[in-house]
Structure 1
Amino acid sequence: MWETPLVLAATPIGNLTDATERLRMLIRSAEIIACEDTRSTRHLIQRLGEQTEARLVSLHEHNEAARSAELVAQAAAGTRILVVSDAGMPAVSDPGHRLVRAAVAAGVQITAAPGASAVPAALALSGLPTGQFSFGGFVPRKQSERAALLQRLSGEEWTTVLFESPHRIAATVAEFAAALGADRPAAVARELTKKYEEVLRGGLGELAADLADRQAGNGLKGEFVLVLGGASPCDGGTQEVMELQEAADVVIGRAEQGEKLKTVAKEIAGAHGLNASELYDAANRRRAAGRNR
């Protein structure tokens, strides 16, 4: 079990019965467990009914650079180290990538104990082509990165899997629908492997309307995965220019989730070649009109 001193192990993404026997054995025999959140991992171990004498240490985005050198040195000395994140596989949109790089650079062996992952689960359930796909991680918030993503997706023929927060998913899907086309096929998976698991399928426009209705009702909760179908080869990779009023609706949607209207207007305008002042004014007018209905 511990022929390799450093092991990255996947933890359940919701359903505890997805915990593998290998994960349980690693928990029981590890000397150090490096985890994204020590409290969450301790709670997971208790819920699994396991016991460990391992020392739990944090490994998160703020300390990974410094902590990696320490863990690699301990692994090189023969210490049995288990690395986990709060859910899914470490290093995949979770801490662990820097640790892997440090271990490789130091010549320390590292392996993975596979298990549950939201990416293949959402992909398989989406009903979209799975022969070729890409994973884009979390939808970026920075204007330049978001614009680059939309430009790439406009001509991407592979299915793409993305993560998004419950507070931003409705506005993001609306923005994608306006930029990439309302008919672009997609799926939104929520709470995978959990009691209230749900997968919405349809065109981006249809999904945007559904999510907007839910947001206006009881709100949107849970973990979300967006699976976007590939662009048609005849699209030629040219991004559709978003109309001013469509862009204003996207700005309002994101502002309603707590973002500053002016900041979002500037971001969306930059991403779609619009005038930021005109977009800000249009969003303000549409929001005021909505309040006066």
Structure 2
Amino acid sequence: MSPPLTFLYAPADRPDRVAKALDSAADVVLVDLEDAVAPAHKDAARANVLRLLASVARPVQVRVNHPSTPWHAADLAAVAALPLEVGVRLPKVESPEEIRAVAAALPDRALHPLIESALGVERALDIATASPRIASLGLGEADLRSDLGVADDAGLTWARSRVIVAARAARLAPPVMSAYANVRDLDGLAESCRAGRALGFRGRTAIHPVQLATIRAAFLPTPQEIARAREVVERVTGATAAGVGAIALADGTFLDVAMVEQARTVLSLAE
């Protein structure tokens, strides 16, 4: 199966938006109990999650509140009552112990930790390998910007690369990018996605359905990339059948294992 590229947030205290998100073209729906929900609405939001996600037929994750909040335990109890296919998104993770505590409370459920602080970035690999239930590693860049005191993307470059490397070292899928806040600036979103793709991200979270098509287009391979990937795979297949060891493309580029794996990833995305 092709990897998911679009992830759409919906605030759990707005059941109408959750329903629209579930009917959207997003590959994964992220139902939010955390930042998007005011303290006075937390209980109602949790009740909505139990009602709307009692049976789901598409990939869904629920973002719960941090263990330091008074809502965390009730959030975990609500997620525990949902189908096992519903993953749990963990905000502001700074230690492996936080992961292990959730894994113990929600056994056999996919965990998706978010790193949102300098300490979390420093411990990225420890967090990524804290439990076999971890299915992805991600960044929460709004809080990270505040913690680092940076105002633009340049200040996040090292942290982004650190999380990408940690995910790869932990044998996880490439991380997805954080949401782009300006829902009207689709050109800026596309440019930002291209820069993130060049770093090694695959896919992005969205805060509005209008962003989904732009995100998908930015992370899908171009026709040129698809053609080159097909040439790589065809050359390898033909050389293997002929018993040839050294393989080169028409432009003279010699192939190695990494290039072949990358070509197969491109074709998987294209399909």
Q: Could you state the TM-score of these two structures normalised by the residue count of structure 1? A: 0.28
Relative CO higher for 1 or 2, CA cutoff 8 Å, sep ≥ 6?
A: 1
Structure with higher strand content: 1
